[in-house]
Amino acid sequence: MREVLTICFALILLVPALLSGVNFEPQGFVDTYHATRLNDPYDFLSSRTRLRLEMWMSGEDASLFAAMNAINNNVITSNSGIELREAYLDYIADEWDLRIGMQIIIWGKADGLAITDIVSPWDYTEFLARDFDDIRLPVDAVRWRLLFDNANLEFLMIPIFRPAVLPLPGTPWAFKYKFPGNVEVEFDNPILPDLLLENSEIGGKLSFYLPGIDFAISSFYTWDDYPTMHRTISIVGDTLSVHYHPEHHRLTFIGAEFSNPWEDFVLRGEAAFYTNRYFDPENLTDTALFKKNSLNWMIGLDWTPGNDWMLTAQFVDNFILDYDKAIKGDKHTMLATLHISKNLFRQTLELSMMGYYGINDEDYFVRSSMNYALTDELHLLLGIDAFLGDDGMMGQYDDNDELWIKAKYSF
């Protein structure tokens, strides 16, 4: 229903603007992706084929873009079907522009990390074992920008909250919760905010593009994409029963970002200050959660030494202010990433490696791949995903090392 209303509203606004002349530009791609586990039981962790259709209709000052996916997923069958990916109206004036509809909004300078990039939620159905273009989810938003010579001011309003998508129970990527043997656990469905105007998400961003440096400040009054796991407990004999009541809460964040090129290097950074985030207690029998402010920051360095090499390194720290030792988790949660790529054979073959290292839990995720362009339209890809560690977000998938193959044809 939301997708239908978005398209109808965009068309109603767009048609009058296009009466003077219409340009119609269809395009898209077909891709197929299959991944098999590299250890017993050697089953498929992913097997999906997708048709993407995209359409541009443009007039003198306005345009309409729509993208649709038709997906057949053989492992997570509930993800099979037809979905509207994006559908929005653009209107461009001399000193401002407006975009209304279902759209993906990207903030920040980080590569594969969400620091200030929290407007469009993420889809973790297959954790990180997908392209980042597919992990971000669209939101129904109104985006209005004022355009200046060396800056722009952006305003956002999102009337319908859309949460992040977590891995489904019973799938290879379901989160692995660890509880003692005498604990019984029950989960309710998350409580979402009511569909009211006062529950809209609103934000803004002021960006500057100056000689030698880009920087921006932003703020967003939003809902936490991930539910807080409130819980009640009961004890019968030696059995502890834990009943979780997930609920999404309001968040306010203030962010800043910058990018500074220098010769073969680009220095990047981001920081996001969050107010009133909830944190679980270490003791399972405690039902009172902690409400604290936190600071999430990143520093990154890109290096292009020449000869088609590219190296990117990043360090991230999520810092809980006014930390209490009874909180589950550390005061600082640190992560490091490294991305290396090399183009060969007149840039028809790309070799790359992207690695994540969770410093606190000493867990890893490493994706190594090669992308060969048979033609400009047809690409063949082959890769290996490796998960290592006993604990942590990535270590929980230690048994999910996989070999994958992908083919993509664009038209």
User: Domains, the chain, ranges and CATH?
Assistant: 2-340 (2.40.160), 345-411 (3.30.1300)
Report how far residue 133's alpha carbon sits from residue 112's, in angstroms, rounded to the nearest whole number.
10
Is residue 408 within 8 Å of 377, Cβ to Cβ? no
pLDDT at residue 15 is higher than 60? no
The predicted structure's pLDDT at residue 25: 80
Whose structure tokens read 């973790």? 124
pLDDT at residue 76 is higher than 80? yes
pLDDT at residue 13 is higher than 80? no
Judge if pTM exceeds 0.85: yes
Report how far residue 46's alpha carbon sits from residue 217's, in angstroms, rounded to the nearest whole number.
39
- Report whether the peptide linkage leading into residue 121 is cis, meaning its omega lies within 30 degrees of zero: no
Mean pLDDT score, 165-188: 90
Stretch (H or E) spanning 298:
strand 290-306
Q: Where are the beta strands (DSSP E) in 200-249?
A: 201-210, 213-223, 228-236, 239-247
The predicted structure's pLDDT at residue 238: 87
The predicted structure's pLDDT at residue 244: 95
Is residue 59 within 8 Å of 43, Cβ to Cβ? no
Mean pLDDT of the chain: 93
pLDDT in tens, 16-68: 544 455 677 889 999 999 999 999 999 999 999 999 999 999 888 999 999 99
CA end-to-end distance (rounded Å), the chain:
29
